[in-house]
């Protein structure tokens, strides 16, 4: 099974077709071999049947020669001399025909028993001339002469009977068996002719002749019964028809005479007449013999032709079957491999990044469904890759803008941090000035008190007060300017806190408080300016009206005390503002750090987009128009791009 896993599909298909094809070829070849064997067998039977016809013709003549020889020897050469010589010529003619047939006959293709019988028969034929000479010179006893012919004929007839043993065709075997039994019955009739010819010629049975005669009559009947058992009804009817010939009845009369006087002899029967009568019977049997042989040749010829036709038909069917199997196998092989190869090629293209949408296979079987499903998958993948590719391009473009914007935000956050630090420093200076104003107010109060006590030094005090008032006026103007700037800073801080949303709500509250304190500081500074102006006017008037300075100085002391209180309150407010500014500085520093992280993230996004573009560039997709997948991807990616652009605009508004 492990070996099969490593084989190509085409090899597996060929193996799948090979074993059924081998099985079909095996059974077809077995059938062809069987038909060829039957054809060869029938050809052999046909050849043996032809041999049987020649043997039958020779045996028929040797039977007659045997009969005339028996009569010749029984009459001591006084009878049958001319007839015997004529018969020998007929026998030689049939023997010549047999030799001519055997010249083209190969007995080695048959088994040893047949070869042995045929060889023994031909060896006996080889002694024919010698036996004839002995018979002519009356040197061979009648029994030996008859025995020679009988043994020779038996050898030939056994060779004929062999034909029935090699046939597997029941009809042929039955016909051959019937033919063989008929020939053997006819042979016994021929021997009977010879025995009684000798007996009637000498007018008595020789030694052992009666027993032999009796056995011959019985054997004829036995072989005829065997013939009837194997013969067709037509042949049985044919024998019944020829048995009505008068010669059959005459032979029976001669037999009755032989049986009646077998002991004492004196038959008073003309041996020539007996020979003539039984020869007529044997000739009738010969006629049936010839017909049986002719029909046997026709039967074997027809069967041989049929076997040849069956063989060629089997070969044709085998070739057609194998051809159709190969053609069908090739078609099925192609119908399986074509879609597999198409899918394989598409997969190989896909492994190299080529998305081929041209996968068409019109089959409705499972393989066709597989190819169509893979084509749909390939098309879907191509669409997805196109969308991802377009999206990667958009993300890359947006990431570049995003990185630029994040860098600007980071720079703006740094500038904001620096600005907040400057504001914090300015607030500290304002706080110091306010504290100084408070100290000056206390000092003014002391001076006013001293002015009330010492009127003499009023002029100097008034002069100093005027100078101090001018300084106060100048400082208050500074405080008022600082309060105004603080108010503006608080206003901007409130705006930025509103933009920050929920995270800037606390900062907005602080900015509002800072704004209120700034407004109060500005208002107090205005009041101080007015007081300073009045003090200056009073001091100037004090120079003129020294006597009236004490009430004014008391009033000035009161105002100075109020200024001191206002300065203290302003100092507290400025400290709170400074605290809020410090908190705002912390937020700004945090925003700057976040902006730097945002810039780093934007750089990472740009790198990821570049990696994505590089990875997606592995795929090569066929262009299918300007719309479709690319437009869809661009429409999807435009939304985050617009969001990034809007954030950039808002961040730019945050800079100041």
Tokens 């390939």, residue? 378
Average of per-residue pLDDT across 565-583 = 76
3-class DSSP state for residue 620?
A: strand
Element of type H or E holding 355: strand 354-355
| Token code pair at residue 226 | 């065997």
Tokens 């092989």, residue? 333
Residue 243: per-residue pLDDT: 92
> Are 203 and 265 a contacting pair, CB within 8 Å?
yes
Burial of 406 (0-12, 13-18, 19+ CB in 10 A): buried
Please tell me the pTM assigned to this model.
0.46
Of 31 and 1, more confident:
31
How does the average pLDDT of the chain come out, rounded? 79
Residue 87: per-residue pLDDT: 92
Residue 626: per-residue pLDDT: 42
What percentage of residues in the chain have a pLDDT greater than 70? 86
User: 638-655 pLDDT, tens per residue?
Assistant: 444 444 445 434 444 434
Q: Does 276 have pLDDT greater than 80?
A: yes
**Helices 170-202, 209-230: inter-axial angle, 10-degree rounding:** 160
Nearest to 539 by CA among 614, 455, 449, 461: 461
Strand partners, 620: 354
User: 7-28 pLDDT, tens per residue?
Assistant: 777 777 777 777 777 777 777 7
User: 391-445 pLDDT, tens per residue?
Assistant: 878 877 877 877 778 777 777 767 777 776 777 777 777 777 767 776 776 776 6
Residue 549: per-residue pLDDT: 63
Q: Does 452 have pLDDT greater than 70?
A: no
Domain-wise residue ranges, the chain: 27-324, 375-654
Nearest to 161 by CA among 253, 49, 242: 49
Q: How many helices (H) and strands (E) does the chain have?
A: 16, 2
User: 301-335 pLDDT, tens per residue?
Assistant: 887 787 778 778 878 888 887 788 778 877 877 77
Tokens 């500005």, residue? 522
Average of per-residue pLDDT across 623-634 = 42
Kindly give, in sequence order, each residue whose CB lies less than 8 Å from that of residue 116, ignoring residues fewer than 6 positions away: none
The end-to-end CA distance of the chain, in Å, is: 80
Please give the Cα distance from 625 to 395 (Å, whole number).
22
Q: What CATH code is assigned to 375-654?
A: 1.10.287
Average of per-residue pLDDT across 615-640 = 51
Q: How crowded is residue 364: how many other Cβ atoms within 10 Å of its Cβ?
A: 9
Residue 244: per-residue pLDDT: 94
User: 175-233 pLDDT, tens per residue?
Assistant: 888 988 998 898 899 889 889 988 998 889 988 889 999 999 999 999 999 999 999 99
Residue 650: per-residue pLDDT: 47
> Are 542 and 594 a contacting pair, CB within 8 Å?
no
Nearest to 24 by CA among 304, 228, 318, 270: 318
Q: How crowded is residue 298: how many other Cβ atoms within 10 Å of its Cβ?
A: 11
Q: Give the DSSP letter string of 366-420.
A: HHHHHHHHHHHHHHHHHHHHHHHHHHHHHHHHHHHHHHHHHHHHHHHHHHHHHHH
């Amino acid at each position: 099974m492990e070996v099969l896993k490593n084989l190509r599909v085409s090899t597996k298909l060929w193996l799948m077709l090979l074993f059924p094809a081998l099985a079909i070829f095996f059974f077809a070849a077995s059938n062809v071999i069987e038909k060829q064997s039957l054809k060869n067998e029938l050809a052999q039977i046909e050849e043996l049947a032809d041999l049987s016809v020649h043997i039958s013709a020779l045996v028929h003549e040797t039977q007659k020669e045997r009969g005339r020889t028996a009569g010749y020897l029984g009459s001591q050469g006084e009878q049958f001399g001319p007839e015997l010589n004529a018969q020998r010529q007929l026998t030689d003619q049939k023997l010549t025909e047999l030799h001519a047939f055997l010249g083209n006959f190969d007995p080695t293709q048959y088994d040893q028993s047949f070869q042995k019988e045929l060889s023994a028969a031909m060896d006996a034929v080889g002694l024919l001339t010698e036996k004839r000479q002995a018979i002519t010179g009356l040197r061979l006893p009648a029994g030996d002469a008859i025995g020679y012919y009988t043994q020779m004929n038996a050898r030939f007839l056994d060779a004929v009977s062999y034909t029935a043993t090699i046939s597997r065709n029941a009809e042929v075997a039955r016909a051959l068996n019937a033919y063989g039994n008929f020939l053997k019955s006819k042979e016994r009739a021929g021997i009977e002719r010879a025995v009684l010819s000798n007996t009637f010629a000498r007018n008595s049975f020789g030694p052992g002749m009666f027993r032999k005669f009796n056995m011959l009559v019985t054997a004829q009947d036995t072989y005829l019964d065997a013939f009837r058992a194997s013969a067709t009804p037509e042949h049985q009817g044919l024998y019944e028809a020829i048995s009505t010939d008068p010669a059959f009845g005459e032979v029976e009369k001669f037999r009755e005479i032989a049986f009646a006087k077998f002991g004492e002899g004196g038959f008073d029967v003309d041996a020539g007449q007996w020979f003539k009568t039984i020869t007529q019977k044997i000739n009738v049997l010969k006629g049936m013999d010839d017909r049986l042989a002719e029909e046997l040749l026709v039967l074997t010829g027809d069967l041989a032709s049929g076997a040849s036709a069956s063989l060629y038909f089997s070969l044709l069917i085998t070739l057609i079957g194998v051809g159709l199997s190969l053609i069908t196998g090739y078609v099925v092989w192609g119908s399986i491999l074509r879609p597999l190869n198409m899918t394989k090629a598409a997969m190989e293209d896909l492994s190299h990044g080529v998305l081929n949408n041209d996968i068409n296979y019109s089959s409705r079987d499972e393989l066709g469904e597989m190819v169509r499903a893979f084509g749909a998958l390939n098309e879907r993948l191509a669409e997805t890759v196109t969308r991802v590719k377009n999206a990667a391009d958009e993300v890359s473009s947006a990431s570049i803008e995003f990185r630029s914007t994040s860098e600007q935000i980071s720079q703006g956050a740094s500038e904001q941090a620096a600005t907040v630090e400057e504001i914090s420093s300015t607030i500290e200076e304002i706080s110091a000035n306010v504290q100084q104003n408070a100290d000056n107010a206390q000092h003014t109060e002391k001076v006013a008190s001293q002015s009330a006590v010492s009127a003499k030094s009023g002029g100097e005090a008034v002069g100093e007060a005027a100078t101090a008032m001018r300084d106060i006026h100048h400082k208050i103007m500074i405080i008022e300017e600082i309060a105004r700037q603080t108010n503006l800073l608080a206003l901007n801080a409130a705006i930025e806190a509103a933009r920050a949303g929920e995270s800037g709500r606390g900062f907005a509250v602080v900015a509002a408080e800072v704004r209120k304190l700034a407004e109060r500081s500005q208002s107090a500074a205005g009041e101080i300016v007015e007081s300073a102006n009045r003090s200056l006017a009073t001091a100037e008037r004090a120079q003129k009206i020294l006597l009236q300075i004490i009430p004014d100085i008391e009033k000035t002391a009161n105002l100075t005390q109020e200024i001191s209180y206002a300065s203290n309150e302003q100092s507290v407010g400025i400290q709170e503002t400074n605290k809020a500014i410090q908190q705002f500085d912390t937020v700004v520093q945090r925003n700057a750090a976040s902006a730097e992280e945002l810039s780093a993230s934007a750089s990472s996004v740009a790198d990821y987009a570049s990696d994505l573009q590089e990875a997606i560039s592995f795929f090569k997709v066929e262009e299918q128009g300007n719309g479709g997948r690319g437009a869809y991807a661009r429409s999807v990616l435009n939304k985050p791009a617009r969001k990034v652009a809007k954030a950039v605009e808002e961040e730019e508004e945050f800079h100041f």
